[in-house]
Amino acid sequence: MIWRLKEKAKDILSNETGTIFKEASLRVALVYPNTYEIGTSNLGFQLIYRILNSITNISAERVYLPDSEDIKLYELGEDLFSLESQRQIGEFDVIAFSIPFEGDYINVLKILELSKIPFRSLDRGEDYPLVIAGGMATLLNPEPLAPFIDAFIIGEGEYITREVFEIVARREPKCKTLERLSEVQGVYIPSFFKPIYNQDGTFAGHLPSLRVQKRFVDDLHLHPAGSTILTKNTTFSDMYLIEVSRGCGGACRFCAEGFVYRYPRHRDKDSIIAEIKKAKEMGRRVGLISPMLLDHPDLKEIIAEAKKEGIQASLSSLRADALDEDMLETIRMSGQKTLTIAPEAGSDFLRRSVNKHFTNEDITRSAELSYKFGITNLKLYFMVGLPGETDEDVKAIGELGKAIRGVFPRGKVTIGVNPLVPKPWTPFQWAPFPKLKDVERKYQIIKDEVKGASGIKLSLSSPRLFYIQALLSRGSRRVSRFLELALEEKGSYTKALRKWESNPDFYTYRERRADETFPWDFIDHGISKRFLRKEYDKSFEGRKTPECVVPICKLCGVC
């Protein structure tokens, strides 16, 4: 069986451009806990792959979760291996997980299982690789994974990665390595700290107390911005991705990225154009990635340069209030035919409550202009379960969809809806996750409203999967047992919830007290918790908070 898996790996490699083959004294298995197609589409994962391999004494090889067909072969007894050299994972010195989404937590355990490596760090002696983790999900709240990880990297990886692996390369006993790592800013060693709880089950703190200050990169333009590996076998096919900016000043109250990556930073025009020229050498399209793309001061010049180079540029999700005729002409120049807008709410008041201050009129006008400028597919994203939401607000989602269809008469209008997951480090971290029955009822309101409207496609996300995401997002270290049970039940969260001794609703449906201590409070993002609470209270009044403007704004505590 192993020969079949290795032949498949070699076939995957044969379709790649930019693969790094390297032998060095310190071997790192860089793991994305999902399939190859998804993981190779992740620009952050690719950038860490490049950074690690730029260090002389490190060779980093990629590992992905096998697809459903291959996983059956591994479960017959074969050890999971890396892509580049097909080396077994247990033979590496370090296993480094890059984890952007909480839904992939169970895959972290599955990959350890397939590698025949004990889940819990306390069960792994000197003969096992050091297990490190980082990424967006653990930047918010690493506690549900804490028993399984030796060291978490909290923050942006450009500098801290080198510092961490300089220590690991000394090859000292694991306990000594962890002691040294604990002295590095941005490293969290969970085995050094014991969580304590109040009698009602709420989190009380860690013993000893701790504070981990995240690592932050000021000078983005000094670091790689574009894809390392290109292949047709990914979500974005052979598109060359470029990170244009990091962070967002929009201050949307539900958005973790807008808070933990503060303050917002743009890469300079010259470094982005240099990446576009690299893409041209490879004969590829480019995807410009940023949560605040239209805020980049040189975006029009960047797109014009791409057109001059004969490169088609695709733009990520755009703000409705920033779409004018000049910008749409720029988008038309890029050749893009699909536009993504995230109104989040159907009514103006509820949109103000999340601190988005464009109106239904603005959105409809943007849709009409988009149609005139050649856009043929319009994607709109909404949430239900926002604090203070009424049925009229939910109905307004369908009404807005129909109004947009009225000014966008041909092509496709897709309305995507999911329940709000209140994330750590956002003003909504105190809010409850909406009840599943209530989400289903609200979905039905939207269905009824658009029933019979031609040209509108509804895409309604599974409330149950978002319930699990809410549990994993805001859970304490006690949630780790639920993950183990889910793996025992072959990925069935439903069966795991039945066997778990804790009440999951305690983590999901419960509105947090204003003075409650959270499991993630030990991370120092520079943001004042008092500021976040004020933002939560303001949401019920639909009150505006200005956008984050560097260095003028001093509201949140970061600057």
pTM of the model: 0.94
In the numeric block, the tokens 């998804």 are attached to: 38
Q: CA-to-CA distance for 414 and 49, rounded, in angstroms?
A: 35
Q: Which long-range contacts (CB under 8 A, 24 or more apart) does 317-322 make?
A: 317/291, 317/293, 317/341, 317/342, 317/381, 318/293, 318/294, 319/250, 319/292, 319/294, 319/358, 320/358, 320/362, 320/363, 320/366, 321/357, 321/358, 321/362, 321/366, 322/294, 322/295
CA distances from 519 to 32, 137, 199 (A): 25, 14, 15
The two structure tokens encoding residue 130: 């050091």
Is 515 buried (19+), middle (13-18) or exposed (0-12) by CB count in 10 A? exposed
Q: CA-to-CA distance for 393 and 476, rounded, in angstroms?
A: 33
In the numeric block, the tokens 């609470």 are attached to: 533
Question: Which of 389, 375, 397 lies closest to 453 in space, CA to CA?
Answer: 397
State the sign of the Cα–Cα–Cα–Cα dihedral 419, 423, 428, 434: positive
Q: Which residues contact 166 (CB under 8 A, 6 or more apart)?
A: none
Alpha helices in 89-135 (DSSP H): 105-114
Domains detected in the chain? 2-192 (3.40.50.280), 239-539 (3.80.30.20)
Position 514 scores a pLDDT of 97
In 3-state terms, what secondary structure has residue 378?
Answer: strand
| Residue 34: strand pairing partners | none
The DSSP-derived string for 310-367 is T--EEE--B-GGG--HHHHHHHHHHT--EEEEEEESSSHHHHHHTT----HHHHHHHH
Q: CA-to-CA distance for 541 and 527, rounded, in angstroms?
A: 22
Per DSSP bridges, beta strands 240-243 and 456-460 are unpaired
The amino acid at residue 40 is: T
> How many CA atoms, within 13 angstroms, populate the side-chain half-sphere of residue 140?
24
Position 555 scores a pLDDT of 65
Separate counts of helices (H) and strands (E) for the chain:
21, 21
In contact, 311 and 238? CB cutoff 8 Å:
no
Phi and psi at residue 13, to the nearest 5°: -65, -35
Q: CA-to-CA distance for 397 and 403, rounded, in angstroms?
A: 10
In contact, 425 and 262? CB cutoff 8 Å:
no
Position 244 scores a pLDDT of 94
Instruction: Give the residues of the chain that fall short of pLDDT 70.
Output: 1, 283, 550-555, 557-559
In contact, 129 and 117? CB cutoff 8 Å:
yes
In contact, 126 and 242? CB cutoff 8 Å:
no
Q: What single DSSP character describes residue 517?
A: P
CA distances from 156 to 153, 227, 472 (A): 8, 17, 22
Phi and psi at residue 343, to the nearest 5°: -65, -30
Position 115 scores a pLDDT of 96
| Per-residue pLDDT tens over the stretch 261-312 | 988 899 999 999 999 999 888 767 899 999 888 889 998 899 888 888 888 8
In contact, 118 and 484? CB cutoff 8 Å:
no
Q: CA-to-CA distance for 369 and 354, rounded, in angstroms?
A: 25
